[in-house]
Structure 1
Amino acid sequence: MCKNPFLFIPCFVLLTSCFSNSEPKGHTADLFVSPDSSRCYMATTIPSRFSNADTTLRIVEGSGIDKVNMIKVAGGYFLMGSDEFADAKPVHEVKIDDFLIDEHEVTNGQFETFIQATGYVTVAERPLDPKEFPGVDPAMLKPGSAIFSPPKEVQGLTNHLQWWSYVVGASWRHPDGPNSSIKDKENYPVVHIAYQDAEAYAKWAGKRLPTEAEWEFAARARTSNPMTYYWGNELLDNDRYLANIFQGQFPVLNTKLDGYVGTSPVKAFPANSIGLYDMEGNVWEWCADYYRPDYYAKSSSDNPKGPADAYDPDEPGAVKRVQRGGSFLCNDQYCERYKAGSRGKGEVNSPTNNVGFRCVKDI
């Protein structure tokens, strides 16, 4: 567990769940291989059972204590993963049962209702125990969170210390620092959420966090079509961006071509074909699965729930969970993990201003 605010960047080695695009660019997503390598499927001949053609929109109104509309996702089979990313291989067959999923990310307004009902205090707001930080002046141990802080210039893109800052007083109530607030942003996604914060909300609402298999199945709208993005192969539709991501020169200049520099209100961009919003971009979303880069090679094919423990070779001592969908900081220069089938990861006690969540519910 990593809590030291003076060492927060090591805790956030991949705090944005973004990876540099140094991986090979060869895209072979049109070839699908089963976990045991016994079967291969070309994109043009995907077996019919993987092509769940029924994308009927089924809205379940006001499901759960939070009264948020959920989408019924009819179960089926799909091909999970991506050959474009090392930790998303091999692309493998997965069966998913029916479930409900929030139509959008949990908002500030929803989260505030939860706080008022329970008195819950998030990780970013909790006092720091001096006993856990021997040798550090107790007066310097103040709660806060990490905020993206674009510099005027950078020396390469390998050192993310250049654009992330630990800000005392930053939290879900003060997303841009202690002098900011969520006034008039009730319909924006809540951020600065640690894993346990998301889990606590889900339990209160009578829901749970999605497995990453459920999340991807929903994002793909129950299909196995090999696409660059969850909606297709083009990032724009008639010059309109289809997701809230970073445009311009990362991290120094966001040209705001999609209309936003930071987060955007939920439902600001088009939904996918089963009615789900922001399955790419805006904020990363916590999933229930522990993160291991080698998990797909031995994953269950029947409603997989992730490995028994976490391991990240980049930070062997950190406990990480999977994050999905990318954020407003993703682009092809630095962070491509908003693309279809890709995976993100986050240390469970390291909230930032580009991480939120949505919930699911069993049927």
Structure 2
Amino acid sequence: MRVIPGHTFEMGSDRFYPEERPARPASVSTFRIDATPVTNAMFARFVEVTGHVTEAERGEDGGPGSLLFAFHDAGAASWRFIDGLSWQTPHGHASRWNSIEQHPVVHVGHSDAQAYAAWAGKRLATEVEWEAAARGGLQGCDYAWGDTLTIDDRIPASIWEGDFPSSRTQGRELPFTTPVASHEPNGFGLFDMIGNVWEWTATKAPPFDAKPSCCGTERQIEAEGGVIKGGSHLCAPNWCRRYRPAARQIGTVPTSHIGFRCAADLS
């Protein structure tokens, strides 16, 4: 874990989407947060020890399974609910978590993230803590690394490069996630705060109208959910520019692009 010093920072943004407004001062006390999202290997150890059964495996929302965004057919990529899909088979029934051990665990719900955190003696970060950590000590910048999307003509995060959802520079094959710490850390030594997977926070909120979004699915529940932060591998410059610390969405069900990391009080 990395220690995030207590400080005041500019939270939110007036330059992108309504749900991020207004930009305003916010403060955090010193806390700790995981350097990376929880990986498949880490989550597998938790399940081995505790016997935890995830929301997707229990089938609390219309039968066991989860939402997978992929090129299912010859055309554009899209969301589909896949019966029986879970973290153990993250991108189809023929796939296995242990073939991508160092990728972020996905197809986990808010309660699964909370259960893991409690087992690890940690907790989920609040939205304010998460954004403070993601900014890496920078003040008022659009991105976790500064005010420009690219550095040396390269985007330093795992996002969708191409014309979402029709074409993808990285290819059509799953997985769309990448191993954690595939890019440089931010100023606080944290990896993947932007892109790769959205991350659950401890903060609850009612749904808000936020379009266009890479989180829009036909199975979204119009109810209070957990605030997710950081954007994912589905965020694209032509569609959903939520690969930024200020970006926020509401998560309600397990999907192939939501994971989490843990936080803890300083002690």
TM-score of the superposed pair, with normalisation by structure 2 = 0.88
1:236 aligned counterpart, secondary structure: coil
Residues 229 and 245 in structure 2, CA contact (< 8 A), matched pair in contact too: no
Q: Deviations over 1:151-199 (max 9, x none)?
A: 5445xxxxxxx71001112110000111110123211100001110101
Letter in 2 for 1:265: P
Q: What is the aligned partner in structure 2 of residue 192 from structure 1? A: 107
For residues 170 and 123 of structure 1, the distance between their equivalents in structure 2, rounded to whole angstroms, comes to 11
> Compared with structure 1, are the counterparts of its residues 283 and 199 closer, same or farther at alpha carbon in structure 2 (3 Å cutoff)?
same
Residues 73 and 100 in structure 1, CA contact (< 8 A), matched pair in contact too: yes
1:278 equivalenced with 2:192 (yes/no): yes
Letter in 2 for 1:71: R
Decide which of 48, 53, 58 is 1:121's aligned counterpart.
53
For residues 26 and 152 of structure 2, the distance between their equivalents in structure 1, rounded to whole angstroms, comes to 34
Letter in 2 for 1:183: N
Letter in 2 for 1:81: G
Decide which of 321, 331, 354 is 2:257's aligned counterpart.
354
RMSD value over aligned CA atoms? 2.2
1:147 aligned counterpart, secondary structure: strand
For residues 106 and 203 of structure 1, the distance between their equivalents in structure 2, rounded to whole angstroms, comes to 13
Q: What is the aligned partner in structure 1 of residue 11 from structure 2? A: 80
Identity of aligned residues (%): 41
Letter in 1 for 2:18: A
For residues 339 and 127 of structure 1, the distance between their equivalents in structure 2, rounded to whole angstroms, comes to 32
Q: CA deviation at 1:333?
A: 1.5
Residues 158 and 177 in structure 2, CA contact (< 8 A), matched pair in contact too: yes
Residues 144 and 168 in structure 1, CA contact (< 8 A), matched pair in contact too: yes
Q: CA deviation at 1:148?
A: 0.5
Q: Deviations over 1:103-137 (max 9, x none)?
A: 00000011011001110000111156xxx9xxxxx
Letter in 2 for 1:328: H
Q: What is the aligned partner in structure 1 of residue 34 from structure 2? A: 102
Q: What is the aligned partner in structure 1 of residue 178 from structure 2? A: 264
Which runs of no fewer than 5 residues in structure 1 stay unpaired? 1-69, 133-140, 155-161, 292-309
Q: What is the aligned partner in structure 2 of residue 334 from structure 1? A: 239
Q: What is the aligned partner in structure 1 of residue 141 from structure 2? A: 227
1:180 equivalenced with 2:95 (yes/no): yes
1:79 aligned counterpart, secondary structure: strand
Q: CA deviation at 1:236?
A: 2.8
Letter in 2 for 1:148: F
Q: What is the aligned partner in structure 1 of residue 125 from structure 2? A: 210
Decide which of 86, 103, 108 is 1:171's aligned counterpart.
86
Letter in 2 for 1:287: T
For residues 245 and 27 of structure 2, the distance between their equivalents in structure 1, rounded to whole angstroms, comes to 18
1:217 aligned counterpart, secondary structure: helix
Residues 312 and 318 in structure 1, CA contact (< 8 A), matched pair in contact too: no
Residues 192 and 352 in structure 1, CA contact (< 8 A), matched pair in contact too: yes
For residues 250 and 106 of structure 1, the distance between their equivalents in structure 2, rounded to whole angstroms, comes to 27
For residues 147 and 209 of structure 2, the distance between their equivalents in structure 1, rounded to whole angstroms, comes to 32
Which runs of no fewer than 5 residues in structure 2 stay unpaired? 211-219
Structure of higher CA gyration radius: 1
Q: CA deviation at 1:311?
A: 4.4
Q: What is the aligned partner in structure 2 of residue 144 from structure 1? A: 65
Letter in 2 for 1:147: L
For residues 238 and 81 of structure 2, the distance between their equivalents in structure 1, rounded to whole angstroms, comes to 24
For residues 193 and 110 of structure 1, the distance between their equivalents in structure 2, rounded to whole angstroms, comes to 13
How many aligned positions are there? Answer: 254
Query: Which has the larger displacement, 184-193 or 337-346?
Result: 337-346
